[in-house]
């Protein structure tokens, strides 16, 4: 059906609704059903002369019925309100001049009838549009089940739900169900699609002749994705990953299909830089450390030396790696505190690594802010120890994992990371020929321990109060797969004395993201549970990825570089180390504040 004809039909329907609304308004006010008189028809026609033009202005006749949403409801409400306001002004004008025809021809033209008619118009119009939307969805759902290219979406979260239109329109597949591991979601419906458990898939796939499944799990680690893929391969499904990185939450064009970023964007100097290399990863049991392990195993290094002081974390990591270490890469797990110089010295000198990825740190802003002495000591002494020992090595490539909170930092975590960036860079000048030292900076990693999205999802599952610091707060987000993937590529860039900054796109409004997560969970009523807590001590409304006018492109389009002007001498680093030791020995925060008093 042509668009103009659809608009005309909607206008005709609204005229009928206005007529019906007028009739019942008069009946309610009069207390009885009356005949359809000329005066009543004239009253309805008068209302049509405002409602239809105002509705046209607000595009209520141009919306697409199957995508009718809250915004369309608001436009219909505004149409009713402005039309009602116009008639009130006209009525006041007529009464002011005491025109007699208001008592003869316009006998129904009064405040009560005008109000009730507009109210009924709004309620009837909205409900009919919603019924039409539901009808079209059911019709479309039946068509989907009957016709070609049926597919599944693994993950009934924000990414999976938001990608339905993209999969249908751009990929020409018909999603007919979600698959999810969350028992609270199984058996429910989103967008008229059922949510199923993995255990019930086999019969469903055969019945519907499904050959394709899309993975909408951006927060899943490589290990988790590998587990899911292994299970799905047994069902002989073609698997494709969907990711959303820094996307405008509601824009389907921002959903991209994941490709191997290392192969696509890596430098040409060395396509397999980690093959047959010895690599140390600190903080290996943490979210980022684990992901580095998973991705490096696929690069076939000769040995991975994995360091962490979390005993349970190391044990769990060992079990996970044993499942995916098909190439039988040698793995050494070391339980160690990086603040013990002699212990780390022994590890590095014995293993002679080619690469060190330093991911170990206290990263939770609030905890670090409340415990600054121990936290800053841990973050900086561990880094200084490794850097000092690395001077004994040759050809070492050292990577310090940093954060966007290091840019113009307000809290102790961000300050410790910024100082860490400068100290790391300084070793390029202290030992200018032997090794390469760089930092990699990025924002929030989706799904990392203690991060926003798992926290919100947990609050939703428990139907508890949902906390947001500010309705205007924004943050940068990236999937853990991409963040680590690009970090591994950064070692092949030739720039020395640089901070590599991952291109994370545009920042996302936290409040809008939380509302979207709530809506996609099917618990819209929890939006009323959102509590605005206000910014905490040391927290910023908006984070930055780099300092103003300091970034420049690299040979990898997804990685920027930022030059550091500040360089510490060997003696200055020794002074910082002494003050850190003094702060811990004397439990004195003043020493910590002194080391952060430098001019960047």
Cα(21)–Cα(114) distance, integer angstroms: 10
DSSP track, 556-597 = STTEEEEE------HHHHHHHHHHHHHHHHHT-HHHHHHHT-
User: Which 3 state secondary structure label does DSSP give 403?
Assistant: strand
Taking the CB of residue 334, how many other CB atoms lie within 10 A of it?
17
Which residue, among 88, 251, 237, has the nearest Cα to 165 in the 3D structure? 251
Which residue, among 332, 349, 335, has the nearest Cα to 385 in the 3D structure? 349
Residue 112, token pair as written in the block: 């009560």
User: Tokens 């924004």 — which residue?
Assistant: 474
Predicted confidence at residue 351, as pLDDT, reads: 95
Most confident of 99-103, 302-306, 500-504: 302-306
Q: With beta carbons less than 8 A apart as the criterion, state whether 446 and 477 touch.
A: yes
Which residue, among 195, 201, 261, has the nearest Cα to 479 in the 3D structure? 261
Cα(43)–Cα(282) distance, integer angstroms: 78
Predicted confidence at residue 328, as pLDDT, reads: 84
Per residue, the 3-state secondary structure of 438-499, as one string, reads: EEEEECEEECCCCCHHHHHHHHHHCCCCEEECCCCCEECEEEHHHHHHHHHHHCCCCCCCEE
The model's pLDDT over 333-345, given as tens digits with 9 standing for 90+, comes to 999 999 999 999 9
Residues 6+ apart with CB under 8 A from 62: 7
**At residue 126, does pLDDT exceed 60?**
yes
- What mean pLDDT do residues 159-182 have? 84
Per residue, the 3-state secondary structure of 547-565, as one string, reads: CCCCEEECCCCCEEEEECC
For residue 399, the surrounding DSSP H or E stretch is strand 397-403
Weakest-pLDDT range from 109-118, 162-171, 228-237, 418-427 = 162-171
Weakest-pLDDT range from 251-255, 362-366, 512-516 = 251-255
Of 547 and 496, the structure prediction assigns the larger pLDDT to 547
The model's pLDDT over 389-409, given as tens digits with 9 standing for 90+, comes to 999 999 999 999 999 999 999
Assign residue 538 a region (left: φ > 0; alpha: ψ between -120 and 50; beta: otherwise): left
Name the pLDDT band for 266 (thresholds 50, 70, 90): very low
Predicted confidence at residue 40, as pLDDT, reads: 85
The model's pLDDT over 438-453, given as tens digits with 9 standing for 90+, comes to 999 999 887 666 667 7
For residue 7, the surrounding DSSP H or E stretch is helix 3-30
**Rg of the chain taking only CA atoms, in angstroms:** 31
Q: With beta carbons less than 8 A apart as the criterion, state whether 258 and 521 touch.
A: no
Predicted confidence at residue 461, as pLDDT, reads: 74
Predicted confidence at residue 315, as pLDDT, reads: 93
Average pLDDT, the chain: 85
Name the pLDDT band for 108 (thresholds 50, 70, 90): confident
Hey, CA dihedral for 501, 502, 505, 510, is it positive or negative?
negative
Name the pLDDT band for 67 (thresholds 50, 70, 90): low
Residues 6+ apart with CB under 8 A from 89: none
Predicted confidence at residue 419, as pLDDT, reads: 97
Query: What burial letters (b/e) apply to 353-385, b meaning 16+ CB within 10 Å?
Result: bbbbbbbbbbbebeebbeebbebbbbbbbbbbb
Of 348 and 546, the structure prediction assigns the larger pLDDT to 348
Name the pLDDT band for 143 (thresholds 50, 70, 90): low
Residue 460, token pair as written in the block: 């939703």
- Runs of H (alpha helix) within 309-448: 311-324, 341-351, 365-370, 372-390, 412-430
Name the pLDDT band for 543 (thresholds 50, 70, 90): very high
Predicted confidence at residue 254, as pLDDT, reads: 39
Weakest-pLDDT range from 300-314, 544-558, 581-595 = 544-558
Predicted confidence at residue 256, as pLDDT, reads: 37
Predicted confidence at residue 142, as pLDDT, reads: 55
Indicate the DSSP class of residue 516. Answer: H
Of 358 and 181, the structure prediction assigns the larger pLDDT to 358
Predicted confidence at residue 147, as pLDDT, reads: 52
Taking the CB of residue 534, how many other CB atoms lie within 10 A of it?
9
Residue 121, token pair as written in the block: 């118009």
Predicted confidence at residue 412, as pLDDT, reads: 96
Cα(514)–Cα(468) distance, integer angstroms: 8
Predicted confidence at residue 53, as pLDDT, reads: 93
- What mean pLDDT do residues 295-320 have? 93
User: How far is CA 89 from each of CA 21, 57, 92, 93, 253, rounded to the nearest angstrom?
Assistant: 21, 20, 5, 6, 45
- What mean pLDDT do residues 502-520 have? 86
**At residue 12, does pLDDT exceed 70?**
yes
Per residue, the 3-state secondary structure of 142-158, as one string, reads: HHHHHCCCEEEEECCCH
Q: With beta carbons less than 8 A apart as the criterion, state whether 177 and 195 touch.
A: yes
The model's pLDDT over 210-227, given as tens digits with 9 standing for 90+, comes to 999 999 887 777 778 888
With pLDDT > 70 as the criterion, what percentage of the chain qualifies? Answer: 89
Cα(374)–Cα(363) distance, integer angstroms: 12
Name the pLDDT band for 140 (thresholds 50, 70, 90): low
The domains of the chain, with CATH numbers, are 3-143 (no CATH), 148-257 (3.40.50.720), 274-445+478-505+544-595 (3.40.50.720)
Residues 6+ apart with CB under 8 A from 149: 172, 173, 174, 212
Cα(169)–Cα(171) distance, integer angstroms: 6
- What mean pLDDT do residues 251-267 have? 38
Cα(42)–Cα(93) distance, integer angstroms: 18
Residue 367 main-chain phi, psi, to 5 deg: -65, -45
Residue 317, token pair as written in the block: 């990591």
**Residues for the chain: how many in total?**
600
């Amino acid at each position: 059906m042509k668009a103009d004809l659809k608009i005309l039909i909607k206008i005709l329907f609204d005229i009928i609704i206005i007529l019906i609304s007028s009739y019942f308004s008069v009946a309610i006010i009069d207390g009885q059903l009356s005949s359809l008189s000329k005066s009543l028809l004239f009253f309805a026609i008068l209302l049509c002369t405002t409602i239809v033009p105002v509705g046209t202005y607000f595009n209520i006749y141009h919306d697409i019925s199957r995508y009718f949403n809250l915004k369309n409801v608001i436009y219909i409400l505004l149409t009713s309100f402005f039309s009602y306001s116009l008639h009130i002004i006209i009525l006041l004008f007529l009464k002011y001049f005491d025109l007699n025809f208001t008592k003869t021809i316009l006998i129904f033209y009064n405040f009560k009838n005008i109000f009730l008619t507009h109210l009924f118009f709004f309620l009837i119009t909205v409900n009919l549009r919603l019924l039409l939307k539901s009808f079209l969805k059911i019709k479309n759902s039946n068509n989907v089940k009957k016709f070609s290219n049926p597919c599944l979406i693994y993950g009934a979260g924000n990414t999976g739900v938001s990608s339905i239109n993209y999969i249908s329109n751009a990929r020409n597949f018909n999603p007919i169900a979600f698959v999810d591991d969350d028992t609270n979601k199984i058996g429910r419906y989103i967008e008229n699609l059922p949510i199923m458990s993995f255990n019930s898939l086999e019969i469903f796939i055969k019945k519907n002749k499904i050959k394709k499944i899309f993975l909408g799990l951006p927060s899943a680690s490589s290990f988790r994705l590998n587990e899911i893929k292994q299970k799905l391969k047994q069902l002989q499904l073609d698997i494709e990953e969907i990711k959303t990185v820094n996307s405008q939450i509601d824009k389907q064009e921002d959903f991209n299909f994941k490709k191997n970023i290392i192969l696509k964007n890596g430098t040409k100097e060395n396509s397999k830089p980690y093959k047959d290399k010895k690599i140390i990863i600190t903080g290996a049991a943490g979210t980022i450390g684990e992901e580095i392990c998973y991705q490096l195993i696929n690069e076939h290094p000769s040995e991975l030396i994995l360091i962490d002081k979390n005993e349970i974390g190391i044990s769990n990591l060992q079990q996970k790696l044993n499942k995916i270490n098909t190439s039988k890469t040698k793995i050494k797990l070391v339980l160690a505190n990086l603040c013990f110089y002699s212990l780390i010295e022994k590890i590095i000198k014995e293993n002679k690594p080619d690469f060190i990825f330093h991911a170990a740190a206290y990263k939770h802003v609030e905890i670090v802010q409340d415990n600054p002495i121990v936290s800053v000591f841990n973050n900086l002494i561990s880094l200084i120890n490794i850097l000092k020992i690395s001077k004994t090595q040759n050809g070492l490539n050292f990577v310090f994992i940093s954060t966007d909170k290091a840019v113009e930092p307000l809290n102790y975590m961000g300050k410790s990371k910024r100082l860490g960036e400068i100290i790391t860079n300084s070793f390029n000048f202290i030992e200018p020929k032997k090794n390469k030292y760089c930092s990699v900076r990025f924002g929030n990693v989706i799904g990392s321990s203690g991060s926003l999205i798992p926290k919100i999802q947990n609050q939703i599952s428990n139907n508890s109060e949902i906390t947001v610091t500010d309705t205007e707060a924004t943050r940068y987000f990236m999937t853990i797969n991409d963040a680590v993937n690009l970090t591994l590529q950064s070692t092949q860039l030739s720039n020395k004395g640089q901070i590599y900054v991952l291109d994370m796109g545009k920042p996302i409004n936290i409040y809008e993201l939380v509302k979207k997560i709530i809506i996609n969970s099917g618990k819209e009523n929890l939006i009323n549970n959102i509590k605005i807590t206000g910014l905490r001590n040391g927290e910023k409304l908006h984070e930055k990825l780099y300092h103003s006018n300091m970034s420049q492109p690299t040979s990898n389009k997804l990685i920027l570089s930022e030059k550091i002007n500040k360089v510490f001498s060997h003696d200055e680093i020794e002074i910082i180390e002494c003050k850190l030791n003094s702060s811990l020995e004397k439990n004195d925060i003043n020493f910590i504040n002194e080391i952060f008093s430098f001019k960047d």
